[in-house]
């Protein structure tokens, strides 16, 4: 039986559909709509990953952290021995224009935004949660504003798309060591392997599991190893072309 994500329960879906519009519509790729999560929404997650906002690959998949950054996150999860017991959420359900990121960080505290986001964080976690990882400054602020955050370890690291690879690898290496002490691996996972070296290698990536994607997703979605194999080329199979990035996505399949 093929594995795939059957989506949220009706009750959870009702909460997700109540997502408020962004506070400044032009600061977001608003016309593409929101993207909400990836992983387990049933309270079984032992680790919550919070990142910033969805990218173009996430819009294609309808799931968070699926593109190049998400495949780095999946590699991070693999080093913790987690194959399914996690959930990935974002500070914003809508994609933020990079030039507006710092300005929109200040809007995470808008009452309507905070109330809805915290309700999602609350609903997606349960007593099984063992740790929270905030990836990047937007995620750190969103977690800081989470009033009912469970009393579990919080690890703050750079976003997987950080332009400072040395700081990113140093922080992620330390985070893996810390989290291996508190997060129970899945039965089919292994948390005893190597962590990170001095540069990102292909072995530090993992493909997004089919169980995290909707039924019918093509086999290559969530695995951009073939894109990264071209030195100096793009990192994702999906991109927003300029100047019509508001209404156009380019999605390339492997040859």
* pLDDT of 162: 95
- pLDDT of residue 255 exceeding 90, the answer is no
List the alpha helices (DSSP H) in the chain.
10-16, 56-61, 68-79, 101-105, 111-124, 137-144, 165-180, 225-228
How far apart, in whole angstroms, are the C-alpha atoms of residue 186 and residue 46?
A: 10
Distance CA 83, CA 74 (A): 9
Q: Is the confidence at residue 49, as pLDDT, over 80?
A: yes
The whole-number pLDDT of residue 2 equals: 84
pLDDT at 183 over 80: yes
Q: How far apart are CA 163 and CA 182, in angstroms?
A: 29
- Token pair of 90 as six digits: 């974002």
pTM of the model: 0.96
Cα-based angle 25, 114, 73 (whole degrees, multiple of 5) = 85
Give pLDDT, residue 68: 97
Q: What is the mean pLDDT of residues 141-160?
A: 98
Residue 1 has pLDDT above 90, yes or no: no
pLDDT score of 233: 79
Dihedral over Cα of 108, 111, 113, 117: its sign: positive
Task: Count Cβ atoms below 10 Å from residue 8 Cβ, excluding itself.
Answer: 18
Per-residue confidence (pLDDT) for residue 231, from 0 to 100? 77
Q: CA 83, CA 76: separation in Å to the nearest integer?
A: 11
Domain boundary assignment for the chain: 14-186
- pLDDT of 114-141, one tens digit each? 999 999 999 999 999 999 999 999 999 9
What is the overall mean pLDDT for the chain?
96
Read off φ and ψ for residue 173, nearest 5 degrees. Answer: -65, -45
pLDDT for the residue numbered 64: 98
| C-alpha pair distances (Å), 218 with each of 63, 108, 222 | 14, 34, 9
Four-residue CA torsion sign, 4, 131, 133, 103: positive
Pairing assessment for the beta strands 250-251 and 238-239 based on DSSP bridges: antiparallel
What are residue 38's DSSP bridge partners?
Answer: 88
Tokens of 153: 């370890």
Mean predicted confidence (pLDDT) in 147-163: 97
Residue 16: the pLDDT is 98
Tell me: pLDDT of 230 over 90.
no
Spatial strand order of the sheet with 47-51 comes to 38-39, 86-90, 47-51, 131-135, 154-157
Buried b (16+ CB within 10 A) or exposed e, 46-83: bbbbbbbbbbbbbbbbbbbbbbbbbbbbbbbbbbbbbb
**The CATH number of domain 14-186 is 3.20.20.370:** no
> Between these two residues, 137 and 234, which has the higher pLDDT value?
137
Averaged pLDDT for residues 58-77: 98
The residue-averaged pLDDT of 66-91 equals: 98
Q: pLDDT band at 47, cuts 50/70/90?
A: very high
Q: Give the pLDDT mean for 32-46.
A: 97
234: pLDDT strictly greater than 90: no
Instruction: Kindly state the DSSP code that residue 91 receives in the 8-state scheme.
Output: S
């Amino acid at each position: 039986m093929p594995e795939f994500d059957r989506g949220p329960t009706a009750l959870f879906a009702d909460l997700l559909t109540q997502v408020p519009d962004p506070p400044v519509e032009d600061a977001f790729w608003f016309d593409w709509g929101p993207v909400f999560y990836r992983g387990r929404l049933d309270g079984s997650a032992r680790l919550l990953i919070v990142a910033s906002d969805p990218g173009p690959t996430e819009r294609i998949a309808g799931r968070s952290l699926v593109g190049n950054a998400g495949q780095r996150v999946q590699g991070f999860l693999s080093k913790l021995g987690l194959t399914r017991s996690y959930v990935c959420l974002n500070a914003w359900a809508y994609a933020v224009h990079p030039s507006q990121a710092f300005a929109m960080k200040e809007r995470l505290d808008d009452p309507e935004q905070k109330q809805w986001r915290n309700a999602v964080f609350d609903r997606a976690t349960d007593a099984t949660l063992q740790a929270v990882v905030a990836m990047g400054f937007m995620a750190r602020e969103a977690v800081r504003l989470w009033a009912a955050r469970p009393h579990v370890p919080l690890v703050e690291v750079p976003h997987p798309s950080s332009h400072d690879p040395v700081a990113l690898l140093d922080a992620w290496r330390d985070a893996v060591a810390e989290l291996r002490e508190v997060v129970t691996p899945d039965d089919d996972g292994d948390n005893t392997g190597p962590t990170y070296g001095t540069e990102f290698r292909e072995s530090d990536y993992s493909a997004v599991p089919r169980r995290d994607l909707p039924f019918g997703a093509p086999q290559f979605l969530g695995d951009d190893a073939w894109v990264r194999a071209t030195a100096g080329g793009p990192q994702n199979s999906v991109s927003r072309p300029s100047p019509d990035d508001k209404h156009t996505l380019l999605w390339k399949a492997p040859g």
